[in-house]
Amino acid sequence: FETTQFSESKPLTPSGVPWPVLIGPNRFYVGMLEDWTLADKFFERARRSLPFDAYRDLISRTRQTFHPDRWRSR
């Protein structure tokens, strides 16, 4: 996802985004993202499950991935 170049012939679709949620891709749909609840649950689980450095790296990568400027450039 992070290195894919999207275009008119290869558009970015909601199902192609690695949303930070605990719901499997077969059951997840973008309408579930009405608030931050699902993402909060994902990051809470990650915080409890990962070593501190790995969690910090996950937060950093996720912030970069979902930063509005990055989405505009894609």
Q: For residues 61 and 51, what is the distance between their CA atoms, to the nearest angstrom?
A: 16
Residue 42 near residue 22, CB atoms below 8 Å: yes
CB distance 74 to 12 below 8 Å: yes
Q: Is 29 exposed, middle or buried (0-12, 13-18, 19+ CB in 10 A)?
A: exposed
Q: What pTM was estimated for this model as a whole?
A: 0.73
Residues of the chain with pLDDT under 50: none
